Each structure stands twice: as C-alpha cells, then as structure tokens.
A = this chain, B = another copy of it.
C-alpha cells in the first residue's frame, strides 16, 4: 500500500527556512513565557509543519537551544562592538550596552544563561561566551588578577540586574519608590564607574 500526499501536503513539502523559523518562534515564545521550556511540537504546529520536521534541522531539542544561545552571543558581541568602537566611556557604555541588549532580547538572553555549559563542551558556545567576557576584560586595562576581579564584578552587576528585572523580582521595589528603569540603570552605571576607580 503506497501512501499518497494530498495537494496541500505537496505544497507544504518545503517550508523555505524552517531552521530559522524555529529559532525565531522559539525565541519569541521564551521571551513571552519567561521560561526556556517549550514544546517543540507546539512550535512546529504553529509553523504549519509536522512535529517531526524539526528533527531534520536539529538533532534534538537541546541542540536548538544551543543554536539559539550561540546566535545570542554572536548578536551580543556585535552589539558591543558597535557601541564601543568610538566611546569616551568604555566601561559605562559597555554596561549600558549589556543591559540594553539583555532587556531588548530577553528570549536570547535567557537561553544564553540557561544552556548548561558543563555538559558537553560545545566549543563554539564556549568561545562565543568567552568573547563577551574578554571584551570586558580589555576595557579594564592590563590583564591581571585585580582587573579580572573587577571584570567579574562588573559582569555580576549587570547580569544580576538584568536577571532580577527579567524575572520580575524587583517590580515591587521599583513601584514602591517610583523608580523608573532608566533612572535605575543610570544610577547603577554611575555607582559601578565610581567603584572601579
């Protein structure tokens, strides 16, 4: 018994760019749900494609996440480069750029910090992540222990702030003191700059 496809199925045989579509819709979903959990089948369905189609482009669900994380780091690194090429305040602009990237790309950012790094050393991912940190390290000046501490410190500040904001943990605090996000961001960058002198 030979299977035959209907005309509709024939037309949908090629989606065009399923890999990218999957990435986009996953990032969007993660951004809205505030969680990196999602159903591959549901996304496929939304794209008008069968549940198994995704496996032609990604080995499994985790591979999709890894790809998203990698793209996120690449996007972020480019974002940094653009902002820092001509800067009179590298540290401040770096911090500002970091916060802005994360808050305007919550889907990517979440995945970048949700994918387990320890599991199977994905060298691409590792070096992409390393790249961001090195940019920060260079801003600090000479590469030594003290400046490494300062870099980690700065990373901690911006990463912590961004995660607290994305997870909605400081909403009530902001409301209570009628604080705007912009004010907070400026304050935090100001403090950071002073501290590191």
Binding site for B on A (CB under 8 A): 34-35, 37, 113, 116-118, 126, 129-130, 133, 144-146, 148-153, 155-161, 163-164, 167-170, 172-173, 176-179, 183-184, 187-188, 191, 194-196
Contacts and interface: CB of A to CB of B under 8 A. Distances in A.
A169 B118 contact: no
A96 to B, nearest CB: 15
Contacts of A169: 113, 117, 129
A35 B116 contact: yes
B34 A163 contact: no
Given A168-B118, A194-B195, A152 B156 contact: no
10 contacts: A116-B167, A129-B169, A148-B173, A149-B188, A151-B173, A152-B170, A153-B157, A153-B188, A158-B160, A194-B195
